[in-house]
Chains A and B, each alone.
Chain A
């Protein structure tokens, strides 16, 4: 359904090019729940914004394509893009607190997304807005509330309702629960799962919280410094992480059960993306680095079982 091919996107700073997303290819199929995990600054939000066509100056898509149902989103003009947005692909943003217009009733904000795309009567749109609120466990008479009258969790539910308003086939969720407390986060994640079962749509779920992702998503892509370094099914990735970065991330969150292991996370910090890097981008922080890693860039290779990894440890042609 969504095919990202060799996408290069980033930011044009005073003569410098910061490659936030570098040659990324990714597919989201129908009914997929794809998780995209990575640390801050790894380019995951840039990727999401590129898909939505929301990348603003100095941000820029340099090359590659984003095909949605066969049409290239990067080549659309403004009007076509406007029509595709929200109707086919919608998005739930990170900061629920600031995602709603503070001076408009939430009902009006849901309704205007419907009216921007469909020729329906206003009353009908309001009926729909009420239905949507009910769907996300908010009392329908809240249509007349203003954002400041809602709690953080309710605001994010409103955003989800809004994202559902036109029955899109793909919803991008960019850290939808990061700003929320654990209990609220859990409730919302469960609700998302239930609604997805009911309505059937694909999700691209972006987060830095790998422990959460392993639990909820079908498939996970790990992003590091602008590149995808590993893709696999969640269970497979959890039990058998191949890339040293994935492995490091997996042992970076303390657990609630089992013996207490002391671990040191991943030392160092991600590389400066405004400088060209020849070899592997994880080289500086890698505990298993080899000589070749510094010189040559590893590409994603298929390890079977739908498991792809970009690391010289698993490449046969090491000595080439």
Chain B
């Protein structure tokens, strides 16, 4: 299979302005490389401040990365794009947002929100034609009767319904890739699954690829083929979903797994204890960013940034997996 999306050493540093001079930077995203195949769902898992949303926004060309390259379909996505090129790019890459309350303009009805993709990309101007196209796409995302929803304002809809409108807007463009930025985290538990299922259905029917961003390891397991774990702006581990979750290699992934709620194991679960907090991303030191909290930290970890070691079809950024250390690897089977 071909890589549809590829990131090579992408970094995003946001300047902190003081007196107009840029002296310090927030390293929101550092040396991020990964690829995504056509029709694949790749999850980006991490806590807040891990850089997962920044990654999505760099790919969506909301931010221009400080360094590194993004390729779509084998073509380099240049920093400054000509308008027509950009439009072509936008048609391939769309986004679904975390907050369904703020991602729809409160002054517009569903009908006018959904008409834009058709006007912009299908050159439709006939209002009857547009209305029919809108009905079709609402049908696809499960908002029926469609005419009922077309006349609603966002504030008249529930969170789940709004999120469906957001999905409808994204797929109307007929993109190849959808960046889904925590699409269920602000929704009620009872409707999260049906939104995830809608995304899965669209993948199967339309061969849409997803970059699915989430902080919920179990949710990532439910939807994705592969998982990337990010921490403090860097990729810590990449691997096939089931394998990564059942046998996490990186100490951080292990921590994430142990912290996740799991009614199955209940009270007999091992206690976590105090494990520290996420470091500041303002000019971080040259070191493994997880080392201050890592139970296995070695001297080396606070001196240099470990590379991503390849182990079979997995990658992990941890010195434990350096060739010379491989015998000592301790798997955490919690």
Tell whether, in the assembled complex, residue A256 and residue B221 are in contact, meaning their CB atoms are under 8 Å apart.
yes
- For residues 207 through 261 of chain B, which have their beta carbon under 8 Å from a beta carbon of chain A? 215-219, 221-222, 245-246, 255-261
A256 touches B262 (CB 8 A): yes
Point out the residues of chain A lying under 8 angstroms from B267, CB to CB.
215-216
* Complex CA–CA separation, A49 to B274 (angstroms): 32
> Is A238 in contact with chain B by the CB < 8 A criterion?
yes
Can you give 12 A-B contacts (C-beta < 8 A)? A182-B260, A186-B258, A211-B263, A214-B266, A216-B267, A248-B190, A252-B190, A255-B221, A256-B218, A265-B189, A265-B193, A266-B191
Q: Which of A187, A211, A248 contacts B272 (CB 8 A)?
A: A187
Contact: B259 with A185, CB < 8 Å?
yes
A125 → chain B, closest Cβ, in Å? 27
Q: Is the CB of B259 within 8 A of A182?
A: yes
Q: 4 closest Cβ contacts across the A-B interface?
A: A254-B222, A265-B193, A214-B263, A186-B259
Tell me the smallest distance from the CB of A265 to a CB of chain B, in Å: 4
Contact A184 B277 (CB under 8 A): yes
CA distance A266 to B192 in the complex (A): 9
Expressed in whole angstroms, the minimum distance between the Cβ of A267 and any Cβ of chain B is: 7
Residues of chain A at the chain B interface (Cβ within 8 Å) = 39-40, 137, 151, 153-154, 181-187, 190, 208-212, 214-216, 235, 238, 248-249, 252-258, 260, 262-267, 269
A258–B221 CA distance with the chains assembled, in angstroms: 11
Could you tell me the distance between the alpha carbons of A301 and B271 in the complex, rounded to whole angstroms? 37
Q: Verify A190–B272 contact, CB threshold 8 A.
A: yes
Cβ of A156 to closest chain B Cβ, rounded Å: 12
A27 to chain B, nearest CB (A): 23
With A184-B277, A253-B218, A263-B193 as contacts: A258 and B264 at CB distance below 8 Å: yes
Q: Answer yes or no: B194 CB below 8 A from chain A CBs.
A: yes
CA separation between A257 and B272, bound complex, in Å?
A: 19
Instruction: Please name the residue on chain B nearest to A137 by beta carbon.
Output: B274
Which residues of chain A are near B274, meaning CB under 8 Å?
137, 187
Q: In terms of DSSP, what is the predominant structure of the interface of chain B?
A: helix
The answer on a CB contact under 8 Å between B189 and A39 is yes
Residues of B contacting A210 in the complex (Cβ-Cβ under 8 angstroms): 189, 263
Q: A249 and B189 in contact (CB under 8 A), knowing A211-B262, A215-B261, A265-B194?
A: yes
Q: Which of B158, B159, B192, B217 contacts A265 (CB 8 A)?
A: B192
Chain B residues within an 8 Å CB radius of A186: 258-260, 272
Are A208 and B189 within 8 A (Cβ)? yes
B99 to chain A, nearest CB (A): 14
Nearest CB of chain A from residue B109's CB, rounded to whole Å: 19
Are B189 and A253 interface neighbours, CB within 8 A? yes
Pair A153/B266 contact, Cβ less than 8 Å: no
Specify the chain A residue showing the minimal Cβ separation from B47: A181
Q: Are B256 and A183 in contact (CB under 8 A)?
A: yes
Contact of A267 among B47, B194, B266, B272 (CB under 8 A): B194
- B48:A252 contact, CB within 8 angstroms: no
Q: Most A CB atoms within 10 A — which of B189, B194, B269?
A: B189
Bound together, the chains give a CA A238 to CA B261 distance in angstroms of: 14
The answer to whether B160 and A269 touch across the interface, beta carbons within 8 angstroms, is yes
Smallest beta-carbon distance B116→chain A, Å: 26
B287–chain A nearest beta-carbon distance, Å: 20
- Report the nearest B residue to A185, measured CB to CB: B259
Q: Which of A154, A254, A255, A258 has the most CB of B within 10 A?
A: A254
